[in-house]
Amino acid sequence: MNRSNSSEQHKECAAVDVSDSKLNRQAALVREPFLLKPTGKDYLWGGNRLNDDFSKGIDMQPLAETWECSTHPDGPSTIASGTFEGEKLPELIAAHPEILGTHPQKAGLPKGQIPILVKFIDAAKDLSIQVHPDDAYARAHENGALGKTEMWYVVDATKDASLIYGFNRAMDREKVRRALTEVEGGRSHPVTGSDAEGAHAARLDEQGSWDIAAHGTLADVADLPNDTEHSSWQRASQRGESGKCTGQTRGKIEKYLNRVPVNQGDVFYIEAGTVHAICAGSLIVEIQENSNLTYRMYDYHRTDKNGRERELNIDKALDVANFHVGNVPRQPMRVLRFRPGFASEFLCRCKYFEVERILLNTERIRKMAALSTDASSFQVLVCTDGCGTMFWGERHLEFFKGDTIFLPAESVPVRLHGRAEFLKVYC
């Protein structure tokens, strides 16, 4: 989720020039893990939790997003430990593309770019109703940019938190356009743009979208069995709908939107073309394509710090929106895999990225948890709770709640000790 970008505003992910960088003069690269320092975003709907609870230390108020692992020119990450501390991540990758692995390099991205962007999102207020284009539309209309398919992992949520996922009934382009121009009670407001026909409706992936419960806590894996598998369980009770989005003025479009209650540990897959919004009360990790393209459809007539309503992108949004009913099927039962010191469960697989949830607990065993990467892809580890230490050779790296670690492809073998939860992302 991010700010709206028109084609004029869009920054293409250009190749990175490292001719003047010390990275270009390195004779060899030790493939070892390193911390990443994020770029912050102060969008008007953000809160304070990323600084208060996740120790980001970014001087922004509000702090809406932190781009944890990013090579995008709108907010590249900085290397925060190791040999290349202080260098920008795109510069390291441009000088040493081999750290990405064989699969990401086949994506054909510009020099210094990775296929994904990983971020924390703190929604203290409702985000705009929005939609992202797919790759084909973005290439044709946004200077060759990538589209944006994304996945959300809910780190925390208030009791009445919710989100918007698609429509609650079948819609069409003109019905949505009319609803966007009217508010409850019949009053209308102007919307600029043409009434061009031929909307592009991105179809949902066969995998669809899901919301799931957090299966167990760190306490549940205090004593982990070795090399066994157990089926995880589904939530026993159904949740009632609550936490509807609110704004300064209720638009007619709101009654057509599919609202879904949110709980800690839920996972949602948001394919390009899905009309959606994160509503107030959720703190989320978002894994997405390397893109900053968002088309706002509706923003509750809010004004920015200058007293102006934020730009809408109605025509482009209608071009790419999927007008089908936005069902959110509950994910089938997952499999928890146990290894010495940790348990893992698979959260999402799509053509852009794969995500696992890891529960680490080595406090009651005498063996540390082993982790490694192969030649196919780098890995990004996002610590969502707890803390620990990563060891390799004679070196070590401490990590805490909110930290993000980059593991190059074919990284040196590492061992983990501690009690933590983190997401493992790879391509």
Residue numbers annotated as active site: 296
Note the helical H segments in 142-269: 173-181
Q: What is the rounded (10 degree) CA torsion for 103, 104, 107, 110?
A: -150
Single-letter residue type at 320: V
Q: What is the separation, in whole angstroms, between the first and last Cα of the chain?
A: 20
Task: Say how far apart CA 311 and CA 330 lie, in whole Å.
Answer: 34
* CA neighbor of 286 nearest in space, from 355, 376, 212: 355
- What b-and-e string marks burial along 9-20, b requiring 16 or more CB atoms within 10 Å of the CB? ebeebeebebee
DSSP characters for 142-166? TTT-----EEEEEEEE-TT-EEEEE
Partner residues linked to 182 by β-bridges: 188
Q: How many CA atoms lie within 13 A of 179 on its CB side?
A: 18
Task: Say how far apart CA 313 and CA 117 lie, in whole Å.
Answer: 23
Bin 144: left if φ > 0, else alpha if -120 < ψ < 50, else beta: left
Note the helical H segments in 77-200: 89-95, 102-105, 135-141, 173-181
Decide if 378 contacts 103 (C-beta within 8 A).
no
CA of residue 83 relative to chain centroid, distance: 28
